[in-house]
Structure 1
Amino acid sequence: MNTLPSLEEQQEHFRRLLSRFSTAMLVTHGQTHSFHARPMALAQVETNCRIWFLTRRESAKAHEIETDTRVLVICQREHDAYLTLTGRATLVENRAKTEAIWKEPFRVWFPDGVEDPDLVLISVVPENGEFWDNSGFRKINSFMESAAAYVAGRQPRIAEGEEHGVVRL
């Protein structure tokens, strides 16, 4: 008998999957009730799924977050792992935190490094997440189930909580 993974197991699965991404699309609410999405490097993912990004204080995304803290984070890797996270973003000025999460490739965007006076952190505190994970052994299972579904003329069966899950963070 198959049992669904517990909420804690799904949250841990979500956290492990999130920690494997290095980039994401950060979606903010624009000034005219529109959405703005832009690719961002994930500076840090904490064990509670809190995400840290770096940006410029005078960027459009920083101003949008000041107006509306609701954000959506979207991650995708090839055709085997997808993840969305909704949460609340805040701008944080904290030199110690910036130094702790700084990576040398960030210098492309911030040539003065952690000393850049326009550098500010974006902290995203998660509220909800959803994932689709067909990585590793799941990829083989997904392929086999999809092939069987095609032959049988039905939709593939998805292992809820393992391949797909919705979690409250």
Structure 2
Amino acid sequence: MNTHKKLIDLLKDFDTAMLVTRSVDGSINARPMAVAQVESNGQIWFVTERDSGKVSDVALDSEVAVTMQASNQFVSISGTAHPIDDQSKLDELWSEGWKVWFPDGKSSEKILLLRIEPSRGEYWDHSGLTGVKYLLKAGTAYLQGERPATDAETNASVSM
């Protein structure tokens, strides 16, 4: 499997991500976000509140990072955030669980979509059989006093 496809497949495994933005004072802000959709080209969609701090942050600096973590899988995406006001896309993405944040439902005027256009991504996958192979390599390296070798099966950096 090529590294680009592997990264996209890993992205689709996550339902929550940390969206990292830069605020007006230059500080870094990270907040958990429900992943609304990951497209086959790696674009990530979030649903947010129009007047939220993250929307203010991306209006000043649209370069963002998105990180995802599970027990043995890690993904980091760098890219550009685009606020999108598109009711038909919102209809496509809508999940009833979001009524917790938007009690008026998908017709709420507070809702705004946030599309992340990735430019670069990295992953570390130590799950399943791949993880077992890595553990064997790591154990052997440990006994030999060396660092374990890695390959694109377990980790890679990908230009999107």
TM-score, normalised on structure 1? 0.92
The answer as to 2:113 corresponding to 1:121 is yes
Picking from 20, 24, 33, the partner of 1:31 is 24
CA contact (8 A) 2:131 2:154 kept: no
Cα RMSD for the two superposed structures: 0.9
Structure 1 moving runs of 4+ over 2 Å: none
C-alpha deviation, 1:85, in angstroms: 0.4
Measured in 1, the distance between the counterparts of 2:134 and 2:103 equals 44
CA contact (8 A) 2:44 2:115 kept: yes
Counterpart of 1:12 in structure 2 is: 5
C-alpha deviation, 1:134, in angstroms: 1.0
Measured in 1, the distance between the counterparts of 2:134 and 2:154 equals 9
SS of residue matched to 2:57: helix
The answer as to 2:146 corresponding to 1:154 is yes
AA of the residue aligned to 1:72: A
AA of the residue aligned to 1:77: A
Picking from 73, 76, 82, the partner of 1:84 is 76
Measured in 1, the distance between the counterparts of 2:103 and 2:131 equals 40
Measured in 2, the distance between the counterparts of 1:65 and 1:151 equals 48
Counterpart of 2:50 in structure 1 is: 57
Picking from 156, 162, 167, the partner of 2:158 is 167
The answer as to 2:97 corresponding to 1:105 is yes
Q: Which runs of 5+ in 2 are unaligned?
A: none
The answer as to 2:38 corresponding to 1:45 is yes
% same residue: 35
1:85-122 deviation digits (Å, cap 9, x = unpaired): 01100111111100101111111111111011110000
C-alpha deviation, 1:152, in angstroms: 1.1
Measured in 1, the distance between the counterparts of 2:101 and 2:73 equals 27
